[in-house]
């Protein structure tokens, strides 16, 4: 058909999927109509019939879309510089191989999960627009920290693609890092903590949550704990601040640490735990804040709470931080026993 504003406005959505109507006047140029009624100008180029999305009808005019299609076809005909086709999925896989060689395993896993979430499949890298990226990030508005991390991972990925000459320009070149928003202040009440503990399943996930409650460590660190007596060590290669962390744990945690705590499928398991416990609007990291708050209520000195959490806040710094690394074992052990006594009374009520 000959595409005009009148004929485009008259196009009806398909019952399912998408349908493309090509222009009689310009080969391979057309308008794609989705089930939801969205209409976008597209161009098929090359022997592989690769689809280039030019823009959405209404945002870009038919005349401008046709002119852009002619410009793209002219560049190919005249041999102007153009980035060869590179599927997002292929570039992502190559980048993850690079990440696996140079980063810690936990970093690699984090990068992989976030790039998998973006999920543009076989779409050409050069066809991914800032609007595409913003749409993916906007879906994470309820998770501001995750939105920010996903942005950083995506930007790093596209910059790597530039360095590898898979792209001429990054679609994120002028995008700003999303704000974190208000920091979380969620602390579980004693009643909620007891409910979560009681609802933990008898599997690696449930035992992990219990260890988080009893130790206040980060989710990504507990799988790398080694136990000796009542002392646990997390190697520097698996701590956020890259400092080896050695600290005592409650006696009730010892049995939980006898078996591996490596676990996947956090989101689904966490959802089931919320339903079973009746506690909502909390994250696993909130258990760390709850742990620290409970210690403060029990009278544990701030520098001992800091030592238990392997947290560097400035209370102890400089030379003192270097030489006091293992100076508070006895004080930490006293704090742990007080916490264990409190917690045993809580869950037995």
pLDDT by residue for the chain (349 residues), tens digit each? 889 999 999 999 998 888 999 998 898 899 999 988 889 999 988 766 778 888 888 888 999 889 888 888 887 666 544 556 788 999 999 999 999 988 888 788 889 988 988 889 888 888 898 888 998 888 877 677 788 889 999 999 999 998 888 888 889 988 888 876 655 688 999 999 999 999 999 998 999 999 999 999 998 888 889 999 889 999 988 888 888 899 999 999 998 988 878 776 677 888 899 999 999 889 898 999 999 999 999 999 988 999 999 876 444 444 444 444 556 899 999 999 999 999 999 999 8
Total number of domains in the chain: 3
Q: What is the dihedral of CA 138, 128, 88, 107, to 10 degrees?
A: -40
120 close to 154: Cβ distance less than 8 angstroms = no
Is the CB of residue 34 less than 8 Å from the CB of residue 11?
no
* pLDDT of the residue at 251: 93
Would you state the pLDDT for residue 316? Answer: 45
Report pLDDT for 267.
74
- Same domain flag for 333 and 268: yes
Kindly state whether residue 51 falls inside one of the protein's structural domains.
yes
At 249 the pLDDT is 93
Residues 219 and 323 in one domain: yes
260 and 118, same structural domain? Answer: no
User: Which structural domain, as residue segments, surrounds residue 329?
Assistant: 190-348
Q: Kind and range of the H or E element at 75?
A: helix 62-78
In this structure, is residue 101 part of a structural domain? Answer: yes
The verdict on 196 and 336 lying in the same domain is yes
> What are the two backbone dihedrals, phi and then psi, of residue 22, each rounded to the nearest 5 degrees?
-90, 150
Residue 136 resides in a domain: yes
108 plus 239 within the same structural domain: no
pTM of model > 0.85:
no
Element (H, E) at 61: none
Identify whether residues 95 and 45 lie together within a single domain.
Answer: no
Q: Which residues are bridge partners to 60 per DSSP? A: 57
pLDDT of residue 276: 95
- On whether both 50 and 95 belong to a single domain, the answer is no
Classify residue 179: in a domain, yes or no.
Answer: no
Q: Are residues 40 and 22 in the same domain?
A: yes
Tell me how far apart the alpha carbons of residues 11 and 231 are, in angstroms, rounded to a whole number.
Answer: 70
SS3 238: helix
Alpha carbon distance 20, 41 (integer Å): 9
Residues 144 and 288 placed together within one structural domain of the fold: no
Classify the phi-psi angles of 82: left when phi > 0, otherwise alpha if psi is within -120 to 50, otherwise beta. beta
Q: Are residues 97 and 24 in the same domain?
A: no
């Amino acid at each position: 058909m000959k595409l005009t504003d009148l004929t485009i406005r008259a196009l009806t959505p398909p019952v399912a999927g998408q349908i493309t109507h090509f222009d009689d006047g310009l080969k391979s140029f057309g308008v794609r109509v989705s089930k939801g009624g969205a209409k976008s100008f597209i161009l098929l180029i090359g022997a592989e019939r690769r689809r280039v999305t030019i823009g959405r009808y209404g945002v870009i005019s038919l005349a401008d879309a046709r002119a852009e299609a002619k410009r793209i076809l002219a560049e190919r005909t005249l041999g102007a510089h153009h980035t060869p086709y590179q599927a997002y999925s292929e570039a992502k896989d190559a980048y993850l191989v690079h990440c696996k060689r140079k980063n810690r395993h936990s970093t690699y896993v984090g990068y992989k999960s976030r790039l998998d979430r973006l999920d543009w499949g076989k779409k050409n890298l050069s066809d991914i627009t800032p609007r595409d990226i913003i749409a993916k990030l906007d879906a994470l508005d309820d998770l501001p920290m995750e939105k920010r991390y996903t942005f950083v991972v995506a930007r790093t990925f596209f910059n790597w693609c530039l360095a590898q000459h898979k792209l001429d320009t990054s679609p994120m070149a002028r995008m700003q890092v999303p704000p974190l928003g208000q920091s979380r202040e969620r602390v579980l009440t004693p009643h909620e903590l007891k409910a979560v503990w009681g609802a933990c399943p008898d599997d690696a996930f449930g035992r992990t949550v219990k260890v988080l409650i009893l130790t206040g460590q980060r989710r990504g660190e507990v799988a790398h704990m080694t136990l000796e007596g009542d002392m646990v060590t997390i190697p520097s290669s698996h701590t956020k601040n890259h400092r080896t962390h050695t600290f005592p744990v409650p006696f009730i945690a010892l049995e939980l640490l006898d078996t591996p705590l490596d676990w996947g499928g956090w989101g689904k398991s966490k959802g089931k735990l919320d339903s079973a416990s009746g506690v909502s609007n909390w994250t696993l990291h909130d258990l760390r804040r709850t742990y620290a708050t409970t210690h403060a209520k029990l009278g544990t000195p701030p520098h001992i709470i800091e030592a238990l959490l392997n947290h560097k806040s400035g209370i102890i710094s400089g030379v003192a931080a270097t030489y006091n690394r293992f100076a508070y074992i006895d004080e930490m052990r006293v704090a742990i026993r007080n916490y264990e006594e409190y917690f045993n009374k809580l869950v037995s009520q």
